[in-house]
Amino acid sequence: MRDNWRNRLGITCLLVAIERFGMFVPVETSSQITSFWFNGGGWFVLGIIPFINASIVMQILISIIPALTRLQKEEGELGQKQIQTYTRYLTLLLAAIQALTICQKWSSWFVVVSGAMLVMWLAEQISHKGIGNGTSILVCSNIAANLLHHPIEAPWAIAVTIIMLTMLGMIALQEAVRALPILSAKQLIQSVGQVYLLPMRLNQGGVMPIIFASSTLALLHGWYVWWLYVACIIFFSHFYNLVIANPKELSENLNKMAVVIPSIRPGSETQQYLNRTLNHITWIGGLGLSVIALLPWLFSSLKIFSGFGATSLLIVIGVSIDTMRQIRTYLIANAYEQMIDYES
C-alpha cells in the first residue's frame, strides 16, 4: 500500500504511452479521417470519442428509463457492472457507425473499430488501476501532444496571463464548496457545541461537462455554437451533480446516521432542501464553468496558440488539477500509513 500511488502513476504513464503509440500505427482510410477531434490518422483514429458519446447516451437513458435507474441504484456493484456492459456495447455500435464514414475497406473498418474498443479498455484500466479519470487523462494526453505542434503566436506576457487567469478560475471553481451545517443525535443529547459541516462542491463533475459538451458539438459550426456550448455545459454540470450527489440518497443516508440539518425536518423536507441547494449551486457552478470556458475564446483574436482552441486549454488545466488532487490524496494516505506503522 505504501508504494500504491507510484504503481498507479506508472500504470497510468504506460497506458497513455500505449494509446499514443496506437495513433501512429498506419491504417488505410479516406481523407475524412483528418476531421476527427484531437487524433492523428492511425489505428486509434476514433480515439475515446465513441466511449464518451456512449457514456453520455447511457447516462441520459438511466435518467429516463426506470428499469435502468433501479439497476444503477438498487443492484449495487452488480448493477454497476451491468451498466458498464451496456456502455461497452453502445461504444461498439457507435464506433462501428463512425468507422463506416472513414474506412474504404472492411479490413480497415475492423481494425479501426477494434482500436476504439482498445482505447475504451485503456481508459477503464486507468480509472480502475491508475490515477485520475481514464477518459479525461486520454483526452488531455492527445491535446498535449497536439499542442507540441502549434507554436505560441501571441506575446509571452499575454499568453501567460490568459493561461494563469484560466487556471486560477478553474482552481477556484474546483475547490469551491457550499458547506451545510449538520447535527447528529449525539450532539443534540450531549449539547456539544462543535459544528459539523456537509460540503457540497459547486462543480462535482470536474472537467467532464466540458468534454461532453465539446464531444456533442464537435461537428457543428456557426455563431450559435457558443450558445449551445454554454447550454450543454450547464446541462451536463447539473446532470453530473445529480448523479454524484443525489438528494434522495443523501437524505436517506443522513436519516440512517441520525444526522439532521438544523431547522429542516428529516425525510422529504430534507430531500427538498438538498434538491433546492443542489440546483442553486449547479447553476452557479455551470455558469462559472461556462465563463471560464469562454474566457480564452474572448481573447481568440490574439491567436495564443495556432490551431489550439480555448476548450483544449481548459481541459488540460482541469484534468491537471483533478490529477494533482488525487495524487495529493494518495500522498496523505501514505503519510498516515507511515505514521501508524511508526507508532505501532
What is the predicted pLDDT for the residue at 16?
92
Q: Give the separation between CA 310 and CA 213, rounded to whole angstroms.
A: 13
Q: Residues 226-232: what's their mean pLDDT?
A: 84
CATH node for 1-149: 1.10.3370.10
pLDDT in tens, 236-254: 888 777 777 778 888 888 8
Hey, what's the torsion of the CAs at 60, 64, 69, 71, to 10 degrees?
Answer: -80
Give domain limits for the chain. Answer: 1-149, 151-344
pLDDT in tens, 48-86: 889 988 988 888 788 788 888 888 777 777 888 899 999
| Cβ–Cβ under 8 Å, residues 217 and 233 | no
Axis-axis angle for helices 49-64, 66-74 (nearest 10): 100
1-149 and 151-344 share one CATH topology? yes
Q: In terms of pLDDT, which residue wins out, 174 or 99?
A: 99
What is the predicted pLDDT for the residue at 322?
78
Q: Mean pLDDT of all residues in the chain?
A: 78
Q: In terms of pLDDT, which residue wins out, 168 or 15?
A: 15
> Residue 94: is its pLDDT beyond 50?
yes
pLDDT in tens, 258-282: 888 888 888 888 889 988 898 888 8
> Residue 155: is its pLDDT beyond 90?
no
pLDDT tier at 156, thresholds 50, 70, 90: low
Matching CATH number, 151-344, of 3.40.120.10, 1.10.3370.10, 3.30.70.120, 1.50.10.10: 1.10.3370.10
- List the Cα angle 38/227/220 in 5-degree steps: 40
What is the predicted pLDDT for the residue at 17?
92
